[in-house]
Amino acid sequence: MDYISTRDAQASARSFTDILLTGLSPDGGLFMPAVYPTITPELLDDWRALLASDGYAALAAEVLKLYVDDIPPRELEEIAKRAYRTPVFADEEIVPVTRLTDGLYIAHLSEGPTAAFKDMAMQLLGELFEYELGRRGEEINILGATSGDTGSSAEYAMRGRDNIRVFMLTPAGRMTPFQQAQMFGLDDPNIFNIALDGVFDDCQDVVKEVNADAAFKSKYAIGAVNSINFARLLAQVVYYIAAYLKVTETNDERVSFCVPTGNFGNVCAGHIAKQMGLPIDQLIVATNENDVLHEFFTTGEYRPRSAAETHATSSPSMDISKASNFERMLFDATLRDSTVTAELFGVKVKEGGFGADDLGEEVLARIRGEFGFRSGTSTHADRVATIKRVYDEYGVLVDPHTADGIGVATQCAGDVDTPIVVLETALPVKFADTIAEAIGQAPEAPERFAGIMGAERHVVDLPNDAERVKEFIADAIESTDV
């Protein structure tokens, strides 16, 4: 399997382990597989039996083998076993599925160590990084940005690992107290938390600016765990397959997914699964008040907003107005025209965005038709009402992001002819204030999070300045061994 850039598909192809450690392409594009492997009905039958007999880790290994040819198959099996096991994940199923009604399900992706769906990919990335760095005798310095859950998931997956440091940018004051406690409470010597004076999009821009400095990136071995790293999306493809197999009995059944979305990585993994041949009907994008993506899917206009225009909401992990992985889907929608993709994301986005005239009706028709994308949006009042309704009617307590998903799925149900699986985003304990507003009481904290709020904080405040961030990274690398 070769990997190419969304902005220069003719450049030299790379191997999986190369893009694993590189993250972002040097031309500013995102890596994609040169072709998608095909899920045949026969393969889906085999996976259905495998999941039932050997569990999630075995399924994950088989999916990895389709995309990774430079790590021996037996090693991939062991990597998957280490990543997806109890007690790292609280439930032996790893991704249990709850039926709310005949047409509505929740895939629980928050059984991992930080109670967020990001654990599903980060635990695998931690194993892949450690394996490949050990094989090469190299170090990596991971630079990431988080709007809430990516940071803690990455840090918990990488803490204490050999040859790895993590530098995580967070938008100062924009995460919940629990999210901050999870990250800033870690005192491992290879973990560095940076609170940036800005919003998530500013953090993400700094990450991209640092990666664009080829000399700095090479000298300090900068890598990525944000969803710009294709390996993360590959890990996420697995739970779409697992959820589909749990909801269906035969391969002629189709299923839709509703995905709370900010950076477009989670739903992009669904797009990849659909392109592989998983029988997905609709991919429903659920946004909050930061509805740039909903605006695109309904009007064809993509207009990223400034930091000042990005709302701080009660589903903060979705407070994003520049969806990085959106580029991957449009690369496919333009039939992998890297010249067009480079113009759209390398030029027009910087000038304010692009619209239907730039894309053309054929591309928009493909996105809405063949690709199956549709969208909806949700407000704080909608979230609170959905949390209360789901709790009262089904005895299931969901977090605000998952409530966005359930609310939008409910809005779209009349226009969708297949069952809808909502992808859970996090456990309610991470958003206690909103839960208390909805049901009149705070959510119960799982035993594994006892005492987390009282831990000492370890975080550095920095201005929204890529040069200052680079200085901090350089100083930290030179003063710490891993």
Residues 336, 338, 340: CA angle, nearest 5 degrees: 100
Q: How many Å apart are CA 47 and CA 54, to the nearest integer?
A: 10
Q: Which amino acid, one-letter code, is at 122? A: M
In angstroms and rounded to an integer, the radius of gyration of the C-alpha atoms of the chain is 21
What pTM did the predictor assign?
A: 0.91
Q: How buried is residue 27: exposed, middle or buried, by Cβ count under 10 Å (0-12/13-18/19+)?
A: middle
Cα 330 to its chain centre, rounded Å, is: 17
**217 closest CA partner among 478, 7, 23:** 23
Kindly state the percentage of the chain with pLDDT values over 90.
Answer: 80
**176 closest CA partner among 462, 446, 426:** 426
Torsion sign (Cα): 147, 157, 276, 405: negative
pLDDT of the residue at 200: 84
pLDDT of the residue at 101: 92
pLDDT of the residue at 204: 85
Average pLDDT over residues 136-148: 89
3-state secondary structure of 480: coil
176 pLDDT above the threshold of 90 = no
Question: Quick one: tokens of 448?
Answer: 């594994």
Residues pairing with 119 in the sheet: none
Q: Order of strands across the sheet with 460-462?
A: 222-223, 140-145, 164-171, 191-196, 460-462
Among residues 81, 118, 219, 350, the one annotated as catalytic is: 118
pLDDT of the residue at 95: 98
Q: How many Å apart are CA 239 and CA 273, to the nearest integer?
A: 10
For 39-62, the pLDDT digits (tens) are 999 999 999 999 999 999 999 999
CATH number of the domain at 97-111+230-439, please?
Answer: 3.40.50.1100
Our answer to whether residue 118 is catalytic in this structure is yes
Q: How many Å apart are CA 11 and CA 173, to the nearest integer?
A: 41
CB within 8 Å of 148: residues ≥ 6 apart? 116, 175, 176, 179, 316, 317, 430
Residues pairing with 145 in the sheet: 169
pLDDT of the residue at 450: 76
Query: Which helix H or strand E contains 222, and what residues bound it?
Result: strand 222-223
Domain parsing of the chain, residue ranges:
97-111+230-439
Question: Quick one: tokens of 253?
Answer: 């059944």
Considering only residues 176 and 341, tell me which one the structure prediction assigns the higher pLDDT. 341
For 446-466, the pLDDT digits (tens) are 887 877 888 889 999 999 999
pLDDT of the residue at 21: 87
254 pLDDT above the threshold of 90 = yes
For 333-365, the pLDDT digits (tens) are 999 999 999 999 999 999 999 999 999 999 999
Q: Which residue has the tokens 């993506």?
A: 293
Question: Quick one: tokens of 52?
Answer: 């039932």
Q: How many Å apart are CA 283 and CA 279, to the nearest integer?
A: 11
Q: How many Å apart are CA 97 and CA 424, to the nearest integer?
A: 10
Question: Quick one: tokens of 281?
Answer: 């009907």
For 92-111, the pLDDT digits (tens) are 999 999 999 989 999 999 99
**396 closest CA partner among 102, 153, 107:** 107
pLDDT of the residue at 424: 97
Average pLDDT over residues 308-322: 87
149 pLDDT above the threshold of 80 = no
Confidence of residue 228 (pLDDT cuts 50, 70, 90): confident
Q: Which residue has the tokens 């605006």?
A: 295
Concatenate the DSSP letters of all residues of 161-213 into one string. -TTEEEEEEEETT-S-HHHHHHHHT---TTEEEEEESS-HHHHHHHHHHHHH-
